[in-house]
Homo-oligomer: A and B are copies of this chain.
Amino acid sequence: MIDDRSLDTLFRNARTHNGWQPRPVSDDQLRAIYDLMKWGPTSANSSPARIVFVRTREGKERLRPALSAGNTEKTMSAPVTAIVAYDTRFYEHLPRLFPHNQAAPSWFSGPQNKAVAETTAFRNGSLQGAYLIIAARTLGLDVGAMSGFDNAKVDEAFFPDRRFRSNFLCNIGYGDPTKLFDRSPRLSFEEACALA
């Protein structure tokens, strides 16, 4: 069981941040995020997420043309922007990642499995994106994830061989609480869940 204050940090009081304090995030902190998120479960341990942590001026300028107007300033000013992507050929790593069954790559490889490979990469790469968000919060960092950007432009700038595909972006840093929006409501249990 996790203590009540930690539940506030991870979920109840955690917010999507739009402004950032001028306080850096170190590469060691980014490694610590990955060293937690990597343990989150994925289908057949497929681990399809690939992350580019953009934290230099040059890297941010490569990202800029892909950002929507409303996301540009907060992303350019964030200490780090993670490009959460996935490997379309994640299954090539399965002989090592899923040693229980050496036939696992054949579930996903080849043109006849293209749809299931794509669905698996997108679903599990998204799960891992959520693990990244939570892992950053466990380390005292704030995040602001977004889909408001041009995926094709990001892919062209960062993944020119087209093997990796961008999923979403996630700013990482120490949030400026004065830049928060009011918190939006959530669906009730009765609206979102059913018991059977």
Q: How far is the CB of A187 from the nearest CB of chain B, in Å? A: 6
Q: Does A76 contact B (CB under 8 A)?
A: no
Contact A133–B40 (Cβ < 8 Å): yes
Contact B127–A34 (Cβ < 8 Å): no
Q: Say whether, besides A98-B184, A130-B127, A193-B50, A2 and B6 are in contact (CB < 8 Å).
A: yes
Q: Does A146 contact B (CB under 8 A)?
A: yes
* Interface membership of chain A positions 69-113, coded 1 if the CB is closer than 8 angstroms to chain B and 0 otherwise: 000000000000000000000000100111110000000000000
Contact B122–A122 (Cβ < 8 Å): yes
Q: How far is the CB of A123 from the nearest CB of chain B, in Å? A: 5
Count residues of A near B (Cβ-Cβ below 8 Å). Answer: 77
Q: How far is the CB of A50 from the nearest CB of chain B, in Å? A: 6
- Assembly CA distance A58 to B19 (angstroms): 50
Q: Does A66 contact B (CB under 8 A)?
A: no
Q: Does A64 contact B (CB under 8 A)?
A: no
A-B contact pairs, 20 of them (CB 8 A): A1-B139, A2-B10, A7-B138, A11-B40, A16-B41, A27-B195, A34-B189, A38-B192, A41-B143, A41-B145, A43-B168, A49-B192, A50-B192, A52-B195, A58-B196, A96-B185, A97-B185, A127-B133, A130-B130, A130-B134
A interface, CB within 8 angstroms of B: 1-3, 6-7, 9-12, 14, 16, 27, 30-31, 34-41, 43, 45, 47, 49-56, 58-59, 62, 93, 96-100, 120, 122-124, 126-131, 133-135, 137-140, 143, 145-147, 158, 167-168, 181, 184-187, 189, 192-196
